[in-house]
Amino acid sequence: MVKVVVVEDEALVRKGIVLAINWAQLGCVVVGEAENGLAGLQIIKRLAPDIVITDMKMPQMDGVQMLAQLAQNGIQVEAIILSAHSDFSYAQSAVKLGVVDYVLKPFADGELEAAVEKAKSRLPKQHNPPTQQDILSFQIKKGDKSRYVAMAMDCIAQQYGQPGISVASVAEELAISEGYLSRVFKKETNHTFNNYLTRYRMHKAMQLLKDCRLKVYEVADAVGYQDTTYFSTLFKKLTGLSPSEYQASGQ
């Protein structure tokens, strides 16, 4: 998954970006968010995202200052600038920093998603695996082979909370061989079945951890892990934070 950090001082706008966009379909996961450039700078240094979506004007440190500081520190990210102001001088500052796109708020439906896709296209190929949308589009060319991949992904979306889900159980449900499903899934998604399942579960876990009333073991159980320690290890490997650290950060 491509890692994204959102830096925006307006809480409603920030939460709207984090929660309203189907990040999984874009092949992305939001690993952090911040309310100003100064906090964003620290989160970006810690989480090393691939893409940063940042507002232009913010208290303490604005978006351009934050990106300039990152560049000075040798930290490379693909950045998308958001602004309610169409001031050309701001746009010039952003362009000089090599930002991917400059999006005016309020942005139209699909506009930010298009900017994210543009940012992904500039990432190294290993950071840009096919998304669910890519696979379903590929179905037109590959016929019933991709139909099985799409059906397997649907099974994961419906059964990720069940500890017993596996490539064997899904293959049996689809009435195809385990070996065939493993091969075609890997070929068309660039992920093994288990790798995709793990990433899907972690994405759901991040959403659940936003509710501070939930315990880590409850989240682990909800996404299909009976071993909380194992769940925490996988979560940290993907996000750079333990579940409790992620929850405490309020991201």
236 pLDDT band (50/70/90 cuts)? confident
Q: Is the peptide bond before 243 cis (omega within 30 degrees of 0)?
A: no
3-class state of residue 250 by DSSP:
coil
- The answer to whether the CB of 8 falls within 8 A of the CB of 17 is yes
Over residues 67-71, the mean pLDDT reads 86
Q: What is the mean pLDDT of the chain?
A: 82
> What is the model's pLDDT at position 219?
94
Residues 63-76: what's their mean pLDDT?
84
Contacts of 141 (CB under 8 A, 6+ apart): none
Give the pLDDT score at 68. Answer: 87
Nearest-angstrom CA–CA distance, 23 and 26: 5
Residue range 123-136: mean pLDDT, rounded: 47
Assign 7 a pLDDT band (cuts: 50, 70, 90). very high
Which segment, 93-97, 133-137, 193-197, 227-231, is predicted with the most confidence on average? Answer: 227-231
Length of the chain: 251
C-alpha span between 201 and 20 (Å, rounded): 19
Q: Tell me the per-residue pLDDT of 194-214, one tens digit each, with 9 for 90 and over.
A: 888 888 888 888 889 888 889
Give, as one character, the DSSP assignment of residue 213: T
pLDDT of residue 119: 92
What amino acid is encoded at 181 in this protein? L
What is the structure's pLDDT at 186? Answer: 84
Question: How far is Cα 180 from Cα 112, in angstroms, rounded to an integer?
Answer: 37
Q: Between the CA of residue 175 and those of 127, 143, 171, what are the distances in Å?
A: 33, 17, 6
Residue 37 neighbours by CB under 8 Å, 6+ apart? 7, 54, 58, 60, 61, 62, 63, 65, 66, 69
pLDDT at residue 88 in the model = 54
What average pLDDT does the segment 18-25 reach?
Answer: 86
Q: What is the CA radius of gyration of the chain?
A: 19
Query: What is the C-alpha to C-alpha distance for residues 57 and 90, in angstroms, rounded to an integer?
Result: 10
Residue type for 153, please?
Answer: M
Q: What is the pLDDT of residue 96?
A: 63
**What was the pLDDT predicted at 100?**
85
Tokens of 57: 């004007």
pLDDT of residue 138: 31
Read off the DSSP letter of residue 35: S
Strand-pairing partners, residue 121, are none
Q: Helix 193-209 crosses helix 228-239 at what angle (to 10 degrees)?
A: 90
Q: How confident is the model at residue 133 (pLDDT cuts 50, 70, 90)?
A: very low
Task: Please give the average per-residue pLDDT across 159-183, as a whole number.
Answer: 91
Average pLDDT over residues 131-153: 54
pLDDT interval class at 242 (50, 70, 90):
confident
Please write the tens of the pLDDT for every residue from 97-127.
678 888 888 888 889 999 999 999 888 754 5
The answer to whether 28 and 130 are in contact (CB under 8 A) is no
Q: How far is Cα 30 from Cα 17, in angstroms, rounded to an integer?
A: 10
For residue 5, pLDDT beyond 90: yes
